[in-house]
A and B are shown apart, each in its own frame.
Chain A
Amino acid sequence: MPSVCEFMKRLDLEYLIRAAGKIGQDSEIVVIGSHAILGQFPDAPESLLTSAEAGVFPLNRPEKSNLIDGAIGEGSRFHQEYGYYALRCARMRSVLQRGYENQSLTCCEG
Chain B
Amino acid sequence: MRTRKSLQSKSRGRPRKLAPLSAAERMRRMRARRKAAGYREISRWVPQQITGAAYSSHRLAEARSLAMHAAMAQKIEREPPLLDIPRQNMERWRARWSDKPPPWWREWCALLQRPWPEIAALITEPSENAARLRQSSPFVGVLTDAERMRIYEAFGS
Contact = CB atoms under 8 A, between A and B. Distances in A.
Contacts of A49: 102
Contact of B104 (A51, A77, A80, A81): A51
B53 A66 contact: no
Interface residues of B, number: 34
B57 A93 contact: yes
A87 interface: yes
B140 A5 contact: no
18 contacts: A4-B100, A5-B100, A8-B96, A9-B102, A46-B103, A50-B103, A51-B104, A51-B132, A70-B149, A74-B140, A75-B68, A75-B148, A76-B140, A76-B148, A80-B89, A81-B92, A83-B92, A83-B93
A74 B65 contact: yes
Given A51-B132, A80-B89, A80-B141, A88 B61 contact: yes
A89 B15 CA distance: 66
Interface of A: 3-5, 8-9, 46-47, 49-53, 55, 66, 69-70, 73-77, 79-83, 87-90, 92-95
B157 A70 contact: yes
A28 to B, nearest CB: 19
